[in-house]
């Protein structure tokens, strides 16, 4: 990870963009510790996908807990078909 000041980012935006797109993560330091992290769209998409997968797995875990506790609703096929109408 490379740490830069905001002024460095402004002065060398293309160079910083090339670093980010080559896989480097860049930390932009700001006053009052309000720092930013710059990463490529590909890396962002991977992080977002991992977050969504974790949320989905948590929902599955909760469903399994509910089923193990007997907190289920049983419907016949006819009941389900009538609900779809």
Domain boundaries, the chain: 1-39, 40-85
Task: Tell whether the model's pLDDT for residue 85 goes beyond 90.
Answer: no
Q: Which residues contact 47 (CB under 8 A, 6 or more apart)?
A: 39
The whole-number average pLDDT for the span 64-82 is 94
The per-residue pLDDT for range 23-69, each reduced to its tens digit, is: 999 999 999 999 999 999 999 999 999 999 999 999 999 999 999 99
What six digits make up the tokens of 29? 């330091």
The whole-number average pLDDT for the span 72-83 is 94
CATH for 1-39, among 3.50.50.60, 3.30.450.20, 3.40.1620.10, 3.30.70.100? 3.40.1620.10
Q: What is the pLDDT of residue 58?
A: 97
What six digits make up the tokens of 47? 């992080």
Q: Which residues contact 15 (CB under 8 A, 6 or more apart)?
A: none
């Amino acid at each position: 990870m490379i740490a830069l000041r905001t002024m460095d980012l402004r002065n060398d935006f293309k160079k910083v963009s090339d670093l980010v797109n080559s896989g480097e993560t860049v930390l932009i330091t700001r006053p009052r510790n309000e720092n930013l992290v710059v990463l490529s769209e590909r890396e962002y998409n991977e992080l977002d996908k991992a977050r969504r997968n974790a949320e989905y797995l948590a929902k599955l875990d909760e469903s399994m807990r509910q089923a193990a506790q007997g907190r289920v609703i049983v419907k016949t096929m006819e009941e389900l078909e009538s609900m779809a109408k």
